[in-house]
Each structure stands twice: as structure tokens, then as C-alpha cells.
Chain A
Amino acid sequence: MIRKLFLLICLSGLSPLAGATGSSLVATGGITSFEGTAGGGITPWAMIAGYGSEEEIHGTAALQQLDLGEYQLRTFGAAIGIYDRVELSVQRQNLKVGSGITSNVFNLLTQGAVSTAPGTDIEQDIIGLKVKLFGDAIFAQNSPWPQVSMGAQYKKNRDFDTSLPLSDGSVPLPQTGVPMLLGATQDSGTDFYLAASKLWLGAAWGNNLLANVTARMTKANTFGLLGFESATDDSYALEWEGSLAILPSPSTAVGIEWRTQTNRLGGLAEEKTVTDFFIAYFPNKHWSLTAAYVDLGNLPFDDKASGLYLSATVNL
């Protein structure tokens, strides 16, 4: 599926029909976050996906991969930007959990009786909606106000109750997925966020400077990949996210991001603040590439969950 999509993206990128990607200026659409929303790598921005102006409808398709060793997160999806006002997005996330991790899980559960188990996948679907409320992040250079958008992300974990098999194929804990084992009580949840973004032309020694702050209300554990809520905490928590980037050339952005998490489950599923350092390259309005070093802080049995993140966005 991912291969097919990638092929489709490559073909559309090469197609002469893909000449029109929208009128907005290069790089102003940002990139696509791993949750499918236009933004940075790990956080939504107030910008609407694609290069469409107020009169146009355009979109993006994107792929992301985060290599964490025993964990591999692969995500892909598409977004459509309508009249530079509304953004709709769909995203599939796939977290590959290595057998080293699942073996540790069974080792712990059975107090050493079972010490090996095959790896597993945790998949999640995200449907996103974003609406620009006010402001113009790029052209309102004489105003202190950023562009502000409001958004929602409905997330459905597809493996909330997918049982882990042992190496012999037996299933000791039927209908109990990794999120349930770790204490999550719901398989879906909806995040609500407000994002404020602003670009200052020429502000950093003549280079453009971009800042974004996002406030998110969420019930998710590790972005929803480890389910939603817990037995003792089913209420929304407020989390903060931000990006700060400098554009040292018309086609390059370099920056840092952070994202706080609730740590509702604790224990093995302890959540820490996510940070990254990224370089994005926008050769033209057809596509962009981003490389980042992402530090997720902690994942079960991996207290140094960090690695290389690669992301490609094609503008349609």
C-alpha cells in the first residue's frame, strides 16, 4: 500500500499535468506533520495545506518515516486545502514494534516464563479538520498578530485490542492489544487544537523567521498509538507545542520543535516532551523534503527513543 502510494506520488510529481500547484509563495505551505496536518514535523501550524490561494483548492500527499531501532513509525496520507481557509486530512500511521520489545513485554507479564515473541504492528487512522480563524502569517508584516487556526484530529487506533501472539501462534491474552496492556481504556479520541503561526520577513539578519505555538486538548497516550484515556483519568489535558525556524535561503528552513505530552499511563508507557531539530528543503512548489532528528523521550522498553526522521511532501 505504502509502495503504491509512493509510486503514485512519484508519478504525479513527474506528470506534466502537475504544473499547477497553487499560487501561494514557495515554502509558505510548510511541510506535513506525522499526523497528516500541514505544519512542522510533529506539530500543526496555522497554515492551510498546499499552495492554494483564497480562490483555489489544492492539496498535498506526504510520507514520513521515523527510525527508532526497535520501533519504526511509518506514516502517509493526504490533505486538501480549500480556499486557504479549510484543511481536511487523512493519515495512516503504522508503528512497527520489534520482537525485542514484545519479548520484553511477555517476559515481564509471565515473570520470565515466556521470553521470546514475534514483533507486532500498531496502526492508527487520523482524520483532521483545520479552519483558519484570522490573520495572515506572511503578509501582515506590520501587525503583531499571528495567523490563528483551530483544528480537530479524530484518531482511531486499529490495534487497540489486537492480541499479541507467541512464537508458536498461541494467544495467551485474547482481545488485548498493546495499548490495553499498558493501561489505555479507549481505542479512539479527538484532539482539539489552536495553532498560531507567524513569519517575519528579513527579521533574522535578513533571513526569514518563523514561529508557531499550538495548544492541544487531548486524551491520547503517545499520540494515540498507545490508545486513549486510562482507568483513573478520562479527562482532557492541555498540551503545548511549538516550532521556531529560520529560512537561510528561499528553499531551506532549519528549526527546532517541541511537544509536551500528558503521561497519563506512566510506568512503561511514560511520556516525555518530544523535541526535534529539522532541515527542510523546498526546491520548487512541487515537492519538499525534510530530514530531522527526533527525540520521543521514551517508548515502552526504550528509554532513549530517538532517531532519524525523513518526510516528503508532494504538492498537488
Chain B
Amino acid sequence: MKSFLIVILTFFALLSGCATQPKQDLYSEIGGSATLSKVFGLAINRIYNDPVLGPHFEGVPKSHLREMLTEQTCALIGGPCEYTGKSMQEAHQERDVTAAEFYRLVEHVQQAMRLIGLTYEQENRILAALAPLKKDIIYQGI
């Protein structure tokens, strides 16, 4: 058991080392906040029309959500923005978002990135920055 833990930690730490190399300026590569805003504009339309996800966003103005998501993603991928919105825990506190709903939302964002014309590589690097938000989004209801 002990040797197993040592081996896996060394192995995964080594790979993480490769994985966390400073990224080439992803923000400017994709065309900055203008592109992110297009992505989230499209994703939000899809999300609001989704019969499962739509009800979660009742009363949330599309333009506000779009602005917040753009700002947050810009900051997370190393762009020149500061996220001014609520923390993810706070924003999802009364929603009790399930993992299934979260994955559904991710799929809409993935689709939007593809439709806007981001490459698979850019999509993966953006998702890598957004993925850790999962634990602060799902099951935040008290």
C-alpha cells in the first residue's frame, strides 16, 4: 500500500510537472475577450433553451451572465481581467446543481467553442482552466 502510494504520487507528480508548464499566451491566441464573449453568447443561448438547464437561469439576464462568464474565463486563462462576480459557491448556493446538469452545461460550452471555430487544442486548454470549478458548482445547496 505504501509503495503503491509512493509510486503513484511520483508518477503523477512527474506528469503534472509536464502538464503545468507555463502555457503559451492562450488568451491572445484565441482572440481575447471578444472571442470568449462570442463563445458564451452562443453557449448561453443553448443553455437557456435547454429544457433541463433553462429553469436554473430564470430571472438571470443573459447579458449579465455572458459578461461574468467572459470575465471569469479571461481571468482563469491568464488574460488581463479581474473577475468581479460572485464566487461559484455563492452563485450556486440555492440551486443544488447536479453533476449531470453540470456535464450538460460543459457540453454546451464545448459545442459553442467548436462552432465559433476554436481548435481542439484551444478548447482543451480552456476547459482545463474551467474544470476545477466543478466542485464549487455542484451540490452547493444547503
Contacts and interface: CB of A to CB of B under 8 A. Distances in A.
Q: Do A and B come from one complex?
A: yes
A84 B18 CA distance: 29
A295 B53 CA distance: 47
A239 to B, nearest CB: 12
Given A136-B134, A213-B8, A201 B15 contact: no
Interface stretch (B59-67, B87-95, B99-107): B99-107
Contacts of B104: 23
A80 to B, nearest CB: 17
Contact of B124 (A23, A53, A196, A206): A206
Interface in A207-236: 207-209, 211, 213, 215
B99 A54 contact: yes
Which bucket holds chain A's interface residue count? 35 or more
Contacts of A54: 98-100, 138
A55 B98 contact: yes
B103 A200 contact: no
Interface residues of B, number: 35
Contacts of B128: 141, 200-203
* Dominant secondary structure at the A interface: loop
A213 B103 contact: no
B16 interface: yes
Interface in A75-94: 84
B132 A144 contact: no
Contact of B131 (A53, A139, A203): A139
B8 to A, nearest CB: 4
Contact of B99 (A84, A144, A200): A84
B98 A142 contact: no
Given A200-B16, A206-B125, A146 B8 contact: yes
A-B pairs, top 4 by smallest CB distance, nearest first, are A206-B121, A202-B124, A201-B128, A23-B100
